[in-house]
């Protein structure tokens, strides 16, 4: 790794804002290869130098990847003056990492949202050229039929005239009837148009009552995460997102 300013290394590692970090460095709490450093602009190689803060070794991580089970009522954004955002749900410590959501879910959609500060990875994940598949679970008002499966396979015409790419609709429960007729489905999309799942069902005369994203590429939502909970990805899970072979096999 190339050398970077010491204050940037510390801020990338979650030790506070650049201002706070300069104060920490000035106080003499930071050492590099055993020597106290008070110059925040010193260039260091975080992979080769032993950096300590108050005697504790720094574990440098350039990028963070967080899987969140986004709850309904929260928007996929970093900040907003009116609405609570996915980033607002993270503890204070994570706020120093400039995390942002890689992709969007509607305010009423739950499920897998990736938060990261890796712009390149987010770009690749969302790029139409890369075709990273997204799998959704949904509750639909009415009876979803094999005819709908066929329509989705062929592509449906949305309200703006756009014909969707072929998608895989799987009926889990057709018309589970309690007081009203509902169906449970899973749908894999190979593209990401605005409100796409809801608009596709509208195109076949049905309404989405509940929507949850459960997979992006090879990355599955951890079922142990309740709505609003999150955890960092394991190194293997990060690889799933960058490994094109595995990403292709949803
Ligand atoms: N499709 C939708 O309609 N909404 C989402 O949040 C995601 C996909």
Residues 120, 242 within the same domain: yes
Q: With 70 as the cut, is the pLDDT of residue 243 above it?
A: no
CATH number, domain containing residue 230: 3.30.70.580
Residues 70, 50 within the same domain: no
The two tokens of residue 191 are 């593209």
- Which protein residue has the closest C-alpha to ligand 1 atom 7? 105
> How much is the pLDDT for 176?
66
Distance of CA 14 from the midpoint of ligand 1 (Å)? 32
Torsion of CA 123, 106, 79, 240, to 10 degrees: -30
170 within ligand 1 shell (Cβ under 6 A): no
Reply yes or no on whether 45 is catalytic: no
Residues 71, 187 within the same domain: no
> How much is the pLDDT for 180?
72
Q: Could you tell which of 190, 196, 200 is best to mutate to test the pocket of ligand 1, judged by most ligand atoms within 8 Å of the CB?
A: 196
Residues 12, 69 within the same domain: no
d(CA 121, CA 128): 13
Structural domain that includes position 150: 134-216
Q: With 60 as the cut, is the pLDDT of residue 246 above it?
A: no
247: left (phi over 0), alpha (psi -120 to 50) or beta: alpha
Index of the ligand 1 atom closest to the CA of residue 106 = 6
Residues 78, 123 within the same domain: yes
200 within ligand 1 shell (Cβ under 6 A): no
Distance of CA 205 from the midpoint of ligand 1 (Å)? 17
Q: With 80 as the cut, is the pLDDT of residue 104 above it?
A: yes
Q: What is the 3-state secondary structure (H, E, C) of 192-232?
A: CCCCHHHHHHHHCCCEEEEEEEEEECCEECCCCCCCCCEEE
Per-residue pLDDT tens digits for 193-217: 999 999 999 999 999 999 999 999 9
Residues 170, 183 within the same domain: yes
Residues 204, 229 within the same domain: no
Per-residue pLDDT tens digits for 66-86: 999 999 999 999 999 999 999
Domain termination residue (choose one: 57, 73, 94)? 57
pTM of the model: 0.83
Residues 101, 222 within the same domain: yes
Residues 212, 224 within the same domain: no
Helix, strand, coil percentages, rounded to 5, for the chain: 25, 30, 45
* Total of domains in the chain: 3
198 within ligand 1 shell (Cβ under 6 A): yes
Residues 36, 78 within the same domain: no
Lowest-confidence region among 9-18, 20-29, 159-168, 173-182:
173-182
The two tokens of residue 38 are 């008070």
Residues 146, 174 within the same domain: yes
Q: Could you tell which of 133, 136, 193 is best to mutate to test the pocket of ligand 1, judged by most ligand atoms within 8 Å of the CB?
A: 136
Residues 78, 10 within the same domain: no
3-state secondary structure (DSSP) of residue 151: helix
Q: With 50 as the cut, is the pLDDT of residue 192 above it?
A: yes
Per-residue pLDDT tens digits for 13-52: 878 888 899 999 999 999 999 999 999 999 998 888 899 9
> How much is the pLDDT for 126?
87
Read off the pLDDT of each residue in 148-165 and give the average, rounded to a whole number: 98
d(CA 50, CA 9): 12
Task: Given the residues 45, 88, 106, 222, select the one marked as catalytic.
Answer: 106
109 within ligand 1 shell (Cβ under 6 A): yes
CATH number, domain containing residue 164: 3.30.70.1560
Question: What is the pLDDT of the chain when averaged over all its residues?
Answer: 91
211 within ligand 1 shell (Cβ under 6 A): yes
CATH number, domain containing residue 18: 3.10.290.10
């Amino acid at each position: 790794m190339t050398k970077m300013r010491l204050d940037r290394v510390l801020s990338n590692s979650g030790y506070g804002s650049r201002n706070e970090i300069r104060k920490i460095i000035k106080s003499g709490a930071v050492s590099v290869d055993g020597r106290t450093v008070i110059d925040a602009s010193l260039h260091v190689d975080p992979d080769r130098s032993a950096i300590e803060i108050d005697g504790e070794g720094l574990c440098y991580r350039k990028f963070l990847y967080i899987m969140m089970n986004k709850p309904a009522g929260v928007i996929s954004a970093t900040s907003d003056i009116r609405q609570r955002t996915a980033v607002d749900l993270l503890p204070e410590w994570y706020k120093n990492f400039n995390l942002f959501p890689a992709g969007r879910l509607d305010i009423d959609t739950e499920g897998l949202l990736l938060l990261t500060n890796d712009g390149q990875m987010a770009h690749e994940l969302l790029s139409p050229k890369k075709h990273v598949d997204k799998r959704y679970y949904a509750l639909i008002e009415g009876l979803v039929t094999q005819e709908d499966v066929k329509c989705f396979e062929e592509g449906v015409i949305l309200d703006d005239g756009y014909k969707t790419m072929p998608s895989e609709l799987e009926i889990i429960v057709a018309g589970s009837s309690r007081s009203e007729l509902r169906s449970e489905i899973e749908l894999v999309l190979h593209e990401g148009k605005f409100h796409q799942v809801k608009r596709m069902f509208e195109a076949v005369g049905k309404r989405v009552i509940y929507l949850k994203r459960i997979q992006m590429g090879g990355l599955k939502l951890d079922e142990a995460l309740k709505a609003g909970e999150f955890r960092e990805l394991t190194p293997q899970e990060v690889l799933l997102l960058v490994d094109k072979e595995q990403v292709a096999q949803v």
